[in-house]
């Protein structure tokens, strides 16, 4: 079955530490891939997206993600986390007919 998996429900990192949020998908072909962030009480903001070409994509707020076809993964990374990065992060895919499917989300807590 087609699915988007974010294995980590909650991650805690110290401010200044590096971050990696995992995302795996299960689709027949390579879908379009997205990462969104939702700060408390806010809507969803697009961080970055992948369609084709360079498998390492840069986004806003210092985030990047790498598409690995062999692993069906699209992990989000940031080299140094800031306290303002504390939020919920959603991986999403579009495979067919503009049908966007979301992972369950990963809640990021940043320790001082």
- Binding other proteins by CB under 8 A: which of 23, 25, 35, 36? 36
How many residues at the interface with other proteins, by CB under 8 A? Answer: 22
> CA 2 to CA 4: how far, in whole Å?
7
Least distance CB 109 / other proteins (angstroms): 14
Verify binding: residue 99, other proteins, rule CB under 8 A: yes
Verify binding: residue 102, other proteins, rule CB under 8 A: yes
Least distance CB 95 / other proteins (angstroms): 10
Annotate the chain with DSSP letters as a single string: --EEE---SEEEEETTS-EEE--EEE-SS--EEEEEEE-TT--EEEEEEE-SS-SEEE-GGG-EEEEEGGGTEEEEEESS--GGG-EEEEEEEE-STT-EEE---EEEEEE-
Verify binding: residue 59, other proteins, rule CB under 8 A: no
Verify binding: residue 98, other proteins, rule CB under 8 A: yes
Is 9 or 112 the residue whose CB approaches other proteins more closely?
9
Query: Which residues of the chain form contacts with other proteins (CB under 8 A)?
Result: 32, 34, 36, 41-46, 49, 51, 90, 92, 94, 98-105
């Amino acid at each position: 079955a087609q699915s988007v998996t974010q294995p980590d429900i909650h991650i805690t990192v110290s401010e200044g530490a590096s971050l990696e949020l995992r995302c795996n998908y299960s689709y027949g072909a390579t879908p379009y891939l997205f990462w969104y962030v939702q700060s408390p009480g806010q809507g969803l903001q697009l961080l970055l997206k992948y369609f084709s070409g360079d498998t390492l994509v840069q986004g806003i707020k210092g985030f990047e993600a790498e598409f690995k076809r062999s692993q069906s993964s699209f992990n989000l990374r940031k080299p140094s986390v800031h306290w303002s990065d504390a939020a919920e992060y959603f991986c999403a895919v579009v495979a067919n007919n503009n049908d966007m499917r979301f992972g369950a989300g990963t809640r990021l807590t940043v320790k001082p």
